[in-house]
Amino acid sequence: MSSIRTPSVPPRHPLEAPAAMTPAERVQTARRLLDLTREMLALGRAGDWARFADREEERRRLSRDLFATPVPREAAPPVGDCIRRVLDLDRELTALAEAHRDNAARAMREAQRGRQAADIYRRFSR
């Protein structure tokens, strides 16, 4: 899946206040947030952390825009359903991200030990 912007909504400056969304746009944004979360989960499972991080920025923006103002009553049921599903997926996303962080830290420690061993070998092999 790729990041697709709705043509009718031009990109805005990050500090600019979000434009008011219609209930239909609010539901569309919630669905995009859910799709993006699913995509991020697939990227995390595949170990594609660079693309995962790129999607996280868009996900943060969508979340901020979605809740910048109260959700209209008529949009609340579908938006609420999407958000519940996003929160369920977030548990696995968090676990994957934590595991990745731990693996990266372990790899860095192993690389450092390897460099130390190489330094010791060079020092005493002369």
Length of the chain: 126
pTM above 0.85, yes or no: no
* Measured distance CA(126)–CA(121) in Å, rounded: 9
Domain parsing of the chain, residue ranges: 23-124
Q: Which CATH class for the 23-124 domain?
A: mainly alpha
Secondary-structure percent of the chain, ordered helix, strand, coil, rounded to 5: 75, 0, 25
What's the pLDDT tens digit per position in 88-115? 999 999 998 888 887 656 656 777 787 7
What's the DSSP call for residue 114? Answer: H
